[in-house]
């Protein structure tokens, strides 16, 4: 299991004797250490930590909604109003946000090597201990895809002796029902935590039914000098795709107004079965060095069907089976090190990921035994990285890091011209490719006062084409696009005292060979391309203030500019990126056992997807939604009522234009809806 940026740093910081000391206070011995959050915040990077309490207090009922409240994070829902597969985008990458935002589960990559979005619902909110959001490059510690930012989701680990747990049932609008539970048990050095959840929903749109079952487990043997652990998880999801709502100006057709909840693709669906396991050992070698070695395996099987709604002339029905297996080995060392008399901490490690991908494309499910195409792509990624955090003075930290990564891809295709549905196809010749990439970072943070830190960092990150960007059904061969590279600079200031936390950052990123799907290519079938050079720059502000014991406020704002630098599109905005986003959350403890939380979330207007020319008459409109949650506690019972979209706004967060006619398609999101949850702890 890979540590996060933060976990790694803080872990080493924890080895520093000065951070842990025993002091005499009154007549007790109090052993103190700085909380993890503080060390995370002291790094020369723009970092936000959401802990379990924040999650509990939030109006968000799922992970993407929670993330979308944070500065500079934008979500887009392609598959209806549920939270199953939205794209999460940090710092304005638009449609490729998922590929430029690295999602980690306990430090291990969740982004697959294909284009499929991360299934956030496979990570139950109630089993999350904290979320560490690092904006900007995480290329040194994580490699490929950590361009716009990194989101590391840390699941709960068993802690307290004895047996504890929680059971919750919930029901909400659109026939939404579910149950989740978790139990932890600690007996001496042995412990385990098991979490499970099950949810069904008809969802807002027609043919958007959703079912998901999730099981996660964590078994550990923990001692002060290290631990041995085994983590596992399994999830099963069924999701129907409702498709788009079309608006054609010329004909006056406007499905968004006349039937916004209807489905265009009433027979499309996807089934997904996945599981993972990670086994590892962490061992302290002396007081200052920790060795961590872990091995992981992840399996995903996806079945999907996209029916033919377009024409009777050609049968373009498409049934796909996808199998993806990924092995990973990630040994690493975190060590406290004095170099030339300067104290510091060193992270060095090797990441090895080996993925086998197989896709079978058939006409319909009943003919899946004789697929038209069988595509096999093996990808091996090996990286070496090192990062050293110096502390030349108690108030100053300097960070230097580099990563070298090799990616070897071997692609094969077999084509059966006699298979049902085979037409106009051809077998792509075998092809393989090796790519060598580097990432680096250099950062400095200085504590101007005990409460204020200024920081800056420069970095380089990269992204290689995913399997779906290498393989295109309409291309004659596998295409290896140039890797996308980015160079960036972050400058920020952090302020923190007992009642207030403020973080403000400005950044600039210059990208070359940005990977993008261009629908205008290939006679309108589209193709993946390297875009002309682009840039991102912006400003992010996060402010928390506790007015008094009863009332706390949290405000986020982001200005995001995502533009083409060169070529015929120079000066144009990258589509699907809002220029302004903001959120304001208030948490009011009305009484000791009654809390009210309310969130207003603003997302500014942005160009429709596919509108690189920025000349379409319609944009995705700006929208403000308000969510309110009331929570009552009674002994170990808790009841909460949540109303999303309180003012019943009709909106969508993703739309795509046609380049040939005055038409655009949108994915409507739910109107006012509610969710009631009852939970009992034990």
Partner 1 sequence: MRYFIGISVLIHVIVIMAFTESPFVIYNDDPPLQITLIAAKGDARQDELATSKAVDAALERISATDIPAPVRPAVKPAVKSRPRQDNNNLPLAPEHKTPETAVARKSPKEAALTDSENPAVTGPAGAREQDRQKGVIASNSTGENRAQTLRKLLYTALEPHFYYPRLARRNGWQGLVQLGMTIKDSGQLSDIHLLKTSGYPLLDNAALNSIGKIRYLPDAVRWIKEHHFDMVVHVKYQLSDF
Pick the piece of the chain touching partner 1 (CB under 8 A) from 16-24, 323-331, 408-416, 467-475. Answer: 16-24
Pick the piece of the chain touching partner 1 (CB under 8 A) from 77-85, 200-208, 282-290, 599-607. Answer: 282-290
Of 32 and 393, which CB lies nearer to partner 1 in the complex structure? Answer: 32
Q: What is the footprint of partner 1 within residues 564-593 (CB under 8 A)?
A: 590-593
- Distance (Å, whole) CA 589 – CA 587: 7
In the block, residue with structure tokens 């009433």: 266
- CB of residue 336 to partner 1, shortest distance in Å: 11
- CB of residue 210 to partner 1, shortest distance in Å: 22
Give the number of other Cβ atoms within 10 Å of residue 513's Cβ.
Answer: 20
Query: Which tokens sit at 473?
Result: 């059904």
Contact between 27 and partner 1 by CB under 8 A: the answer reads yes
- CB of residue 207 to partner 1, shortest distance in Å: 24
Of 361 and 638, which CB lies nearer to partner 1 in the complex structure? Answer: 638
Pick the piece of the chain touching partner 1 (CB under 8 A) from 325-333, 466-474, 536-544, 630-638. Answer: 630-638
Of 27 and 312, which CB lies nearer to partner 1 in the complex structure? Answer: 27
DSSP E strand stretches across 286-430: 289-306, 318-329, 332-339, 342-362, 373-393, 396-415
Contact between 217 and partner 1 by CB under 8 A: the answer reads no
Residue selected from 135, 272, 298, 496 as contacting partner 1 according to rule CB under 8 A: 496
- Distance (Å, whole) CA 585 – CA 537: 26
Query: Which tokens sit at 127?
Result: 């089993």
Pick the piece of the chain touching partner 1 (CB under 8 A) from 199-207, 387-395, 526-534, 636-644. Answer: 636-644
List CB contacts of 666: < 8 A, sequence separation 6 or more. Answer: 244, 245, 247, 256, 620, 652, 654, 655
**Total chain residues near partner 1 (CB under 8 A):** 67
Give 339-351 as a 3 state SS string.
ECCEEEEEEEEEE
- CB of residue 491 to partner 1, shortest distance in Å: 24
Contact between 34 and partner 1 by CB under 8 A: the answer reads yes
CA proximity to 246, closest of 671, 660, 656: 656
Query: Which tokens sit at 120?
Result: 């956030």
Contact between 30 and partner 1 by CB under 8 A: the answer reads yes
- Contact pattern for partner 1 over residues 80 through 119, marking x by CB under 8 A: ----------------------------------------
Q: What is the footprint of partner 1 within residues 328-387 (CB under 8 A)?
A: none
- Distance (Å, whole) CA 300 – CA 646: 37
- Given a contact cutoff of 8 angstroms between Cβ atoms, the answer to whether 142 and 190 are in contact is no
- CB of residue 260 to partner 1, shortest distance in Å: 18
Query: Which tokens sit at 558?
Result: 């982001």
Contact between 28 and partner 1 by CB under 8 A: the answer reads yes
DSSP 42: T
- Contact pattern for partner 1 over residues 149 through 178, marking x by CB under 8 A: --------x-xxxx----------------
Of 309 and 634, which CB lies nearer to partner 1 in the complex structure? Answer: 634
Of 17 and 341, which CB lies nearer to partner 1 in the complex structure? Answer: 17
Residue selected from 179, 223, 430, 473 as contacting partner 1 according to rule CB under 8 A: 223
CA proximity to 510, closest of 470, 566, 556: 566
Of 49 and 377, which CB lies nearer to partner 1 in the complex structure? Answer: 49
List CB contacts of 411: < 8 A, sequence separation 6 or more. Answer: 375, 376, 377, 428, 430, 431, 432, 470, 471, 478
Contact between 312 and partner 1 by CB under 8 A: the answer reads no
Query: Which tokens sit at 498?
Result: 């007992």
Residue 541, classed as helix, strand or coil, is: strand
- Contact pattern for partner 1 over residues 179 through 198, marking x by CB under 8 A: -------x-xx---------
- CB of residue 498 to partner 1, shortest distance in Å: 7
DSSP code per residue over 64-129: HHHHHTSTTEEEE-SS-SSSSS-EEEESS-GGGHHHHEEEEETTEE---SSSPPP-GGGS-GGGEE
Residue selected from 393, 637, 647, 649 as contacting partner 1 according to rule CB under 8 A: 637
- Distance (Å, whole) CA 283 – CA 666: 52
Contact between 237 and partner 1 by CB under 8 A: the answer reads no
Q: What is the footprint of partner 1 within residues 516-545 (CB under 8 A)?
A: none
Give 639-656 as a 3 state SS string.
EEEEEECCCCCCCEEEEE
Residue selected from 384, 423, 547, 676 as contacting partner 1 according to rule CB under 8 A: 676
Contact between 20 and partner 1 by CB under 8 A: the answer reads yes
- Given a contact cutoff of 8 angstroms between Cβ atoms, the answer to whether 426 and 372 are in contact is no
Instruction: Give residues in contact with partner 1 (CB under 8 A).
Output: 7, 10-11, 14-15, 17, 19-38, 51, 129, 157, 159-162, 186, 188-189, 222-224, 227, 282, 284, 290, 450, 496-498, 590-594, 630-637, 639-641, 643, 672, 674, 676
């Amino acid at each position: 299991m890979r540590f996060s940026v933060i976990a790694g740093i803080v872990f080493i910081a924890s080895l520093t004797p000065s951070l842990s000391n025993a002091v005499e206070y009154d007549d007790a011995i109090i052993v103190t250490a700085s909380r993890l959050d503080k060390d995370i915040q002291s790094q020369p990077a723009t970092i936000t930590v959401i802990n379990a309490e924040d999650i509990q207090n939030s109006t968000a009922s799922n992970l993407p909604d929670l993330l979308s409240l944070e500065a500079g994070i934008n979500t887009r829902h392609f598959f209806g109003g549920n939270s199953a597969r939205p794209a999460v985008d940090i710092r304005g990458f638009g449609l490729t946000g998922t590929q430029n935002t690295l999602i980690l589960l306990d430090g291990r990559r969740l982004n697959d090597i294909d284009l499929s979005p991360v299934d956030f619902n496979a990570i139950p909110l109630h089993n999350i201990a904290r979320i560490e959001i690092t904006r900007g490059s995480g290329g040194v510690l994580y490699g490929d895809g950590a361009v716009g930012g990194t989101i590391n989701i840390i699941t709960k680990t068993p802690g307290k002796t004895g047996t504890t747990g929680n059971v919750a049932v919930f029901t909400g609008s659109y026939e939404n029902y579910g149950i989740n539970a978790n139990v932890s048990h600690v007996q001496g050095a042995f412990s385990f935590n098991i979490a499970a959840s099950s949810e069904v929903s008809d969802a807002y749109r027609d043919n958007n039914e959703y079912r998901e079952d999730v099981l996660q487990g964590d078994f550990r043997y923990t001692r002060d000098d290290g631990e041995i652990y085994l983590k596992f998880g399994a999830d099963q999801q069924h999701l129907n795709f409702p498709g788009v709502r079309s608006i054609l100006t010329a004909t006056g057709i406007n499905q968004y107004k006349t039937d916004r909840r209807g489905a265009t693709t009433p027979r499309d669906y996807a089934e997904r079965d996945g599981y993972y396991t990670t086994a590892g050992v962490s061992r302290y070698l002396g007081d200052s060095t920790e060795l961590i070695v872990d091995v992981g395996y992840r399996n995903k099987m996806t079945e999907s069907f996209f029916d033919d709604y377009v024409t009777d002339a050609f049968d373009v029905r498409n049934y796909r089976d996808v199998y993806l297996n990924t092995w990973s080995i990630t040994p690493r060392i975190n060590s406290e090190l004095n170099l030339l008399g300067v104290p510091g901490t060193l992270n060095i490690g090797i990441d090895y990921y080996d993925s086998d991908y197989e896709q079978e494309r058939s006409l319909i499910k009943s003919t899946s035994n004789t697929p038209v195409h069988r595509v096999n792509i093996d990808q091996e990624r090996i990286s070496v990285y090192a990062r050293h955090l110096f502390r030349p003075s108690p108030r100053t930290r300097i960070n230097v890091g580099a990563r070298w990564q090799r990616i070897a891809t071997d692609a094969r295709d077999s084509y059966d011209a006699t298979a049902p549905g085979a037409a106009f196809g051809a077998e792509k010749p075998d092809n393989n490719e090796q790519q060598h990439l580097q990432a680096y970072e250099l950062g400095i943070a200085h504590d101007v006062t005990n409460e204020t830190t200024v920081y800056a960092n420069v970095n380089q990150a990269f992204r290689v084409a995913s399997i779906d960007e290498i393989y295109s059904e309409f291309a004659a061969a596998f295409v290896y696009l140039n890797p996308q590279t980015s160079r960036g600079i972050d400058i920020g200031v952090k302020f923190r005292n007992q009642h207030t936390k403020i973080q403000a950052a400005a950044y600039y990123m210059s990208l070359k060979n940005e990977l993008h799907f261009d629908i205008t290519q290939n006679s309108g079938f589209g193709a993946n391309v390297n875009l002309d050079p682009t840039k991102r720059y912006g400003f992010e502000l996060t402010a928390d203030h506790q007015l008094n014991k009863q009332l706390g406020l949290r405000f986020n704002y982001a200005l995001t500019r995502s533009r083409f630098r060169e070529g015929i599109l120079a000066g144009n905005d990258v589509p699907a990126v809002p220029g302004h986003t903001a959120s304001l959350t208030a948490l009011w403890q009305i009484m000791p056992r009654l809390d009210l939380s309310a969130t207003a979330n603003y997302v500014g207007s942005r160009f429709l997807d596919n509108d690189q020319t920025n000349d379409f008459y319609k944009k995705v409109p700006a929208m403000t939604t308000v969510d309110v949650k009331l929570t009552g506690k009674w002994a170990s019972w808790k009841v909460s009522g949540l109303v999303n979209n309180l003012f019943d706004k009709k909106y969508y967060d993703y739309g795509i234009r046609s380049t040939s006619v005055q038409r655009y398609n949108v994915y409507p999101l739910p109107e006012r809806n509610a969710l009631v949850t009852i939970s009992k702890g034990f």
